[in-house]
């Protein structure tokens, strides 16, 4: 998972902002069609030979942002005439200068945000009452409105107008990197959102992060039906990440692994339906039987009220602040449209269609039959996380823990090994040293995340959770995933043709490289997989991961659709709706495979709280991951990683075509899975 200020600031506030049609632009603010025509005529007369279509686009875009407080219609015409840059050489020089300024601004605001959140996100002792207040503060909340006030925003809008995703898809194939930079500069100023709303969004986001960071389950205090404790006394797992990974780890435990998985699954159901006793969250003072939902203190049963929909109140808080942005986005008046059409650059209906087509594919039942045979039992709902296709699934986790805990006793030890890992991946010495030098490893309170730099002078940050006993294998596996994010973030910042196209088309593309790295975690521990079927198993593993995350993503999308249909819902009503949605999706795409109906487990993901509508990026990330892995079979790994992730922030289709020559689709993984199943038979 990634967290990045530039991502939040640009994608959420700017790119996800007002992309109005030209018709609306001339009527929603105080600039009339007559004034726009007058401005176009004035500029054309002053700069003869100017591209008429581009000039009109720029004037109309600037007009869509102009308010009465910015000046009279006459002021607008004068502004356009005086600030239009007609000379191509001067326009490129102006673009370079803008890039330099924005790199400094975005980079320093990113660092300030990191500094403000450090005491909440990192293991730095007790969290004081003032720490969440600073973590919720957005240093750049007023930046965009300041630029409207001093007219910098209008200079950008006039000379580097906004192009929609559809326009980028059509025109982008013929653009140079500089022209892509012009278009991405145009993305920066596409709406005017009040500073107080930006600050409010930052506060709600920070509160959601804090809620999730402290949602720990003390596993050593869980009781089974015989009042026995199955987990180590010091095991503390964060929901949902660590709980899920503990389920995965227990496939190798032939003695009590199944019972432990069933207990974790019961915990997850209590979290989703909010029947979990509030006192057992982030506390080891009580014993808890998740099946009977009884709580014991010193052996005596005690009454313990449920969490009372706190989970769903967090989601509502996010919804209400996202909804507040709607009025500033007349052409994309919902957060759903902005998240997909603008943020992911793929419309939500297309995403849902792709996912449901996959979920209905006949290959799923065939792969499920293979899993049943490998497990020697009927499938259980938690087998959506079946991990047995990976090489590590047959390795005892205690043995893996002993390796990683010794190798990485703290964050500094992991950071010191980054260059060595990159050398193992095949990066040249100089490049490995550079990439490693641009990544800092920090001890996280939560599960960890990757937070990219936003200027070349700063480092990307890898936040990872390391117990006092050293980095356990689950933490190591997650850290390698985040390392993949950091490598992408560093390449796509430092090696792209210009600053304004730094990054990747959407977060699915950084997830793809994170998956590529994560899959090679045992290789980095010098544990080689000699299984002749490893490529077949890798295909099946990615396929099953897609089956799980696409269902979760559809639940997330359906929840947001329900929220917009029921904007005044209470937390309890939202809880009931989510439970209904999870069961409907489960019954449609999972019950026919698992043989059990009405399971709510697809609602467990913490992203639904602190990363709204982020989950579909994982599904796209798996699809991209698979297509990249196919590409790496015939191309040298490290040089191709450097080439591909230096393409920059193109549209998804354009990026895929330039990266590996094929578009993004289900076709490749479905075909490969069909072949893999045939070989397994």
pLDDT tens-place string over residues 417-431 = 999 999 999 999 999
Looking at the structure, tell me whether residues 221 and 163 fall in a common domain: no
On the 0-12 / 13-18 / 19+ scale of CB atoms within 10 A, 466 is buried
Looking at the structure, tell me whether residues 49 and 141 fall in a common domain: yes
Strand order across the beta sheet in which 287-289 lies = 287-289, 294-297, 300-302
Provide, rounded to the nearest whole percent, the portion of the chain with pLDDT above 70: 95
Instruction: Give every CB contact of residue 369 below 8 A, 6+ residues apart in sequence.
Output: none
**Counted domains in the chain:** 3
> Can you give the pLDDT at residue 30?
67
As given in the structure block, the two tokens for residue 373 are 């045979």
Confidence of residue 331 (pLDDT cuts 50, 70, 90): low
Window from 92-101, 376-385, 607-616 with minimum mean pLDDT: 607-616
Confidence of residue 549 (pLDDT cuts 50, 70, 90): very high
**Quick check: is 437 in a domain?**
no
Looking at the structure, tell me whether residues 102 and 141 fall in a common domain: yes
Nearest to 445, CA basis, from 117, 21, 9 = 117
**Quick check: is 624 in a domain?**
yes
Looking at the structure, tell me whether residues 152 and 238 fall in a common domain: no
pLDDT tens per residue across span 654-676: 999 999 999 889 999 999 999 99
Confidence of residue 5 (pLDDT cuts 50, 70, 90): very low
Q: Which H or E run includes 25?
A: helix 22-25
More reliable by pLDDT, 49 or 638: 638
pLDDT for 209 beyond 70? yes
**Quick check: is 482 in a domain?**
no
> Can you give the pLDDT at residue 546?
97
Where are the extended beta strands (E) located within 422-532?
439-443, 448-451, 460-464
> Can you give the pLDDT at residue 24?
35
Looking at the structure, tell me whether residues 287 and 320 fall in a common domain: no
CA distances from 304 to 216, 238, 483, 528, 606 (A): 17, 21, 41, 49, 23
Looking at the structure, tell me whether residues 29 and 170 fall in a common domain: yes
> Can you give the pLDDT at residue 327?
86
CA distance 174 to 180: 10
pLDDT tens per residue across span 376-396: 999 999 999 999 998 766 688
Window from 50-54, 206-210, 637-641 with minimum mean pLDDT: 206-210
pLDDT for 91 beyond 90? yes
Looking at the structure, tell me whether residues 93 and 230 fall in a common domain: no
Looking at the structure, tell me whether residues 129 and 179 fall in a common domain: yes
> Can you give the pLDDT at residue 10?
38
**Quick check: is 422 in a domain?**
no
Which range marks the domain in which residue 664 is found? 312-364+530-680
Q: What is the mean pLDDT of the chain?
A: 91
**Which value, to the nearest 10 degrees, does the dihedral of the CA atoms of residues 538, 539, 542, 547 take?**
-140
What does the pLDDT average to over 496-507? Answer: 95
> Can you give the pLDDT at residue 18?
33
What does the pLDDT average to over 570-582? Answer: 98
What does the pLDDT average to over 568-574? Answer: 98
Looking at the structure, tell me whether residues 636 and 537 fall in a common domain: yes
Q: What sign does the dihedral 95-167-110-496 (CA atoms) show? A: negative
**Quick check: is 427 in a domain?**
no
- The CA-CA-CA angle for residues 456, 424, 414, to 5°, reads 60
Looking at the structure, tell me whether residues 131 and 86 fall in a common domain: yes
On the 0-12 / 13-18 / 19+ scale of CB atoms within 10 A, 344 is buried
pLDDT tens per residue across span 120-153: 888 888 889 999 899 888 888 788 889 999 999 9
**Quick check: is 377 in a domain?**
no
């Amino acid at each position: 998972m990634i967290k990045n200020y530039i991502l939040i600031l640009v994608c959420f506030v700017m790119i996800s902002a007002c992309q109005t049609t030209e018709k609306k632009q001339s009527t929603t603010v105080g600039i009339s069609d007559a004034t726009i025509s007058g401005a176009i005529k004035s500029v054309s007369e002053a700069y003869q030979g100017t591209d008429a279509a581009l000039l009109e686009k720029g004037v109309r875009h600037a007009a869509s942002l102009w308010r009465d407080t910015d000046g009279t219609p006459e002021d607008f015409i004068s502004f356009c005439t005086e600030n239009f840059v007609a000379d191509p050489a001067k326009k490129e020089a102006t673009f370079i200068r803008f890039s330099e300024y924005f790199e400094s601004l975005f980079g320093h605001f990113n660092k300030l945000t990191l500094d403000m959140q450090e005491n909440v996100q990192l293991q730095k002792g007790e969290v004081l009452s003032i720490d969440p207040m600073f973590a919720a503060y957005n240093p750049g909340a007023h930046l965009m409105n300041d630029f409207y006030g001093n007219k910098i925003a209008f200079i950008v809008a006039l000379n580097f107008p906004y192009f929609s995703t559809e326009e980028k898809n059509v025109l982008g194939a013929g653009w140079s990197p500089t022209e892509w930079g012009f278009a991405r500069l145009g993305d920066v100023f596409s709406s005017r959102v009040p500073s107080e709303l930006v600050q409010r969004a930052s506060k709600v986001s920070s509160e959601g992060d804090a809620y999730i960071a402290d949602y720990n389950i003390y596993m050593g205090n869980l009781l089974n039906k015989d009042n026995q404790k199955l987990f180590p006394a010091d095991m503390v797992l964060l929901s949902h990440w660590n709980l899920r990974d503990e389920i995965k780890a227990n496939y190798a435990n032939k003695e009590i692994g199944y019972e432990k998985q069933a207990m974790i699954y019961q915990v997850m159901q209590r979290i989703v339906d909010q029947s979990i006793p509030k006192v057992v969250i982030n506390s080891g003072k009580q014993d808890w039987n998740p099946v009977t939902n009884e709580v014991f203190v010193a052996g005596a049963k005690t009454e313990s009220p449920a969490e009372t929909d706190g989970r769903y109140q967090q989601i509502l808080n996010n919804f209400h602040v996202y909804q507040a942005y709607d009025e500033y986005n007349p052409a994309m008046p919902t957060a759903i449209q902005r998240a997909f059409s603008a943020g992911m650059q793929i419309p939500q209906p297309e995403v849902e269609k792709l996912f449901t087509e996959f979920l209905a594919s006949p290959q799923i039942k065939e792969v499920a039959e293979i899993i049943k045979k490998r497990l020697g039992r009927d499938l259980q709902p938690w087998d959506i996380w079946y991990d047995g296709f990976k090489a590590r699934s047959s390795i005892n986790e205690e043995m893996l823990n002993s390796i990683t805990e010794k190798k990485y006793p703290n964050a500094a030890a992991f950071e010191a090994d980054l260059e060595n890992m990159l050398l193992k991946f095949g990066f040249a010495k100089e490049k490995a040293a550079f990439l490693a030098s641009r990544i800092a490893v920090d001890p996280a309170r939560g599960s960890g995340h990757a937070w990219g730099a936003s200027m070349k002078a700063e480092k990307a940050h890898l936040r990872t959770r390391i117990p006092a006993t050293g980095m356990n294998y689950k933490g190591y596996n997650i850290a390698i995933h985040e390392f993949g994010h950091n490598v992408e973030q560093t390449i796509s910042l430092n090696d792209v043709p210009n600053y304004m196209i730094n990054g990747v088309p959407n977060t699915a593309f950084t997830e793809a490289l994170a998956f590529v790295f994560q899959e090679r975690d045992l290789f980095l521990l010098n544990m080689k997989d000699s299984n002749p079927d490893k490529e077949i198993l890798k295909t099946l593993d990615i396929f099953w991961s897609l089956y799980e995350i696409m269902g979760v993503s559809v639940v997330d999308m359906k929840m947001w659709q329900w929220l917009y249909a029921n904007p005044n819902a209470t937390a309890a009503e939202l809880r009931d709706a989510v439970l209904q949605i999870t069961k409907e999706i489960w019954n449609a795409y999972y019950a026919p495979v698992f043989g059990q109906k009405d399971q709510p487990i697809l609602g467990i993901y913490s992203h639904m709280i602190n990363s709204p509508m982020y989950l579909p990026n994982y599904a796209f990330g798996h699809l991209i991951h698979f297509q990249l892995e196919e590409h790496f079979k015939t191309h040298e790994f490290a040089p191709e990683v450097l080439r591909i992730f230096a393409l920059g922030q193109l549209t998804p289709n354009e990026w895929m075509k330039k990266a590996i020559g094929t578009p993004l689709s289900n076709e490749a993984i479905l075909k490969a899975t069909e072949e893999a199943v045939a070989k397994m038979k």
